[in-house]
Amino acid sequence: MRIAIVDVGTNTTRLFVADVEDGRIARELCRISRVTRLGAGVDASGRLAADAVERELAVLDEYRGLLDGQGAQRRVAVMTSAVRDAANGRAFADTVAARYGLEVHVLGGDEEARLTYLGATDELDANAAREPILVLDIGGGSTELVLGHGRTVDFHVSTQAGVVRQADRHVAHDPPTPAELDALARDVRAVLAAAVPPARRRGVRRAIAVAGTPTSLAAIAQELEPYDPSRVHGFRLTAACRDRLRDRLEPLTNEQRRQVRGLHPDRALAIIPGIVILTEVMALFGLDAVEASEHDILRGAALAYATTRSESVSRRRRI
């Protein structure tokens, strides 16, 4: 089956088209990402802002043109933290379903975590099936933490810690002040400590980090211009490398960060809060490195929805 997945996230909206055969991704035909910051202000107001919705619909207009040429047999939109948290998220989901003919799934935190783990681990070799694995997804409005072995999920939690959410709460200056970043770190540390029982924090030796923060850091560390997914996927991002990049990026203004080789300009606002969250996750689990991965919820959603029947937006919504 050829399936198209549109991932409507808090910070980015991505398009993924792939052929799924025998429960595996046989071919990737299209993968595009645009920063929309749909969730900007949601933490304070509880609503999707009008200008953010306009940015989102402009990107979806672009994607509709691309989708028309891909020949996908199924077109699915998955929506995460910003939409499920917003009072007007239901109306937004209905608009997207009607305007673009997409099968819309507003994911609960549990389902978001499951699909992220599925996508991150779908190509692990047999030897990896026995070792505990942490999959972490630092998003705009939430961070998903999933512990498992092989294809089996043992524990998962969706935390209210995300790059847009925490930046909206704590960062008012450009560049962020040390006091602001300290407050952001304390907030994230408390959220993570409340979400992950102490017994679950021990014994993790392998961590796979998906989404924009780890992949951007991998690209910056290698000075990739243009971005090269083959060199980012599997990159070992050590705590020492992470800290060097933070020391380099933290004093820069947003405009200066936009010029950094390897960092997409649209991710300049999110990268510092992302590093802080990544640091706190690694500290919680006692990790000295994570593995950056290009395989994430897009792959997981493609695998999951290619083998399940289509359902209406009203039945699948989890707001």
Domains of the chain in sequence order: 2-109+298-316 (3.30.420.40), 124-294 (3.30.420.150)
Name the residue among 191, 203, 106, 104 with its Cα closest to residue 147.
203
What radius of gyration, in Å, describes the C-alpha atoms of the chain? 18
Q: Which pLDDT belongs to residue 50?
A: 95
Q: What is the DSSP letter of 265?
A: G
What's the pLDDT score for residue 126? Answer: 58
DSSP letter at 129 equals G
User: Identity (one letter) of the amino acid at 290?
Assistant: V
* Alpha carbon distance 85, 9 (integer Å): 12
Q: Secondary structure of the chain: what % helix, strand, coil (to 5)?
A: 45, 25, 30
Q: What is the pLDDT of residue 311?
A: 60
Q: So what's the pLDDT on residue 310?
A: 63
DSSP letters of 12-72? EEEEEEEEEETTEEEEEEEEEEEE--TTTTHHHHSS--HHHHHHHHHHHHHHHHHHHTTT-
pTM: 0.86
Cis, peptide link before residue 226, omega less than 30° from 0: yes
Question: In the prediction, which pLDDT does 228 show?
Answer: 93
Residue with tokens 């999933």: 146
pLDDT value of position 127: 61
pLDDT at residue 16 above 50? yes
Residue 231's nearest CA partner among 294, 140, 141, 142 is 294
Flag whether pLDDT at 319 surpasses 60: no
CB atoms within 10 A of CB 76: 23
Share of the chain above pLDDT 70, in %: 95
Tokens representing 6 are 């549109």
Residue 202 near residue 178, CB atoms below 8 Å: no
Query: What does the pLDDT read at residue 273?
Result: 96
Q: For the CA atoms of 24, 26, 32, 33, what is the dihedral angle to 10 degrees? A: 20
pLDDT at 56: 97
pLDDT category, 313, cuts 50, 70, 90?
A: very low
- Mean pLDDT score of the chain, rounded to an integer? 91
As to burial, measured by CB atoms within 10 angstroms (0-12 exposed, 13-18 middle, 19+ buried), residue 280 is buried
- For residue 81, name the pLDDT band (cuts at 50, 70, 90): confident
Tens-place pLDDT, residues 140-186: 888 999 999 888 889 999 898 999 899 999 999 999 999 999 999 99
> Could you please report the per-residue DSSP string of 159-215?
ES--HHHHHHHH--SSSPPHHHHHHHHHHHHHHHHHHS-GGGGSS--EEEEESHHHH
Q: Is the pLDDT of residue 232 over 50?
A: yes
Highest averaged pLDDT of the listed ranges 28-32, 52-56, 227-231, 293-297: 52-56
Question: 214 preceded by cis ω (within 30°)?
Answer: no
Assess whether pLDDT exceeds 70 at residue 90. yes
In angstroms, the CA 274 to CA 262 distance is 16
pLDDT at 307: 82
User: Is pLDDT of 264 > 50?
Assistant: yes
Chain segment 107-135, per-residue pLDDT in tens: 988 888 889 999 999 888 756 667 889 99
The neighbour count for residue 319, using CB atoms within 10 Å, is 14
pLDDT at 314: 38
Convert 133-166 to b/e letters by CB count within 10 Å (16 or more is b): bbbbbbbbbbbbbbbbeeeebeebbbbbbbbbbb
Of 38, 224, 222, nearest to 139 by C-alpha is 38
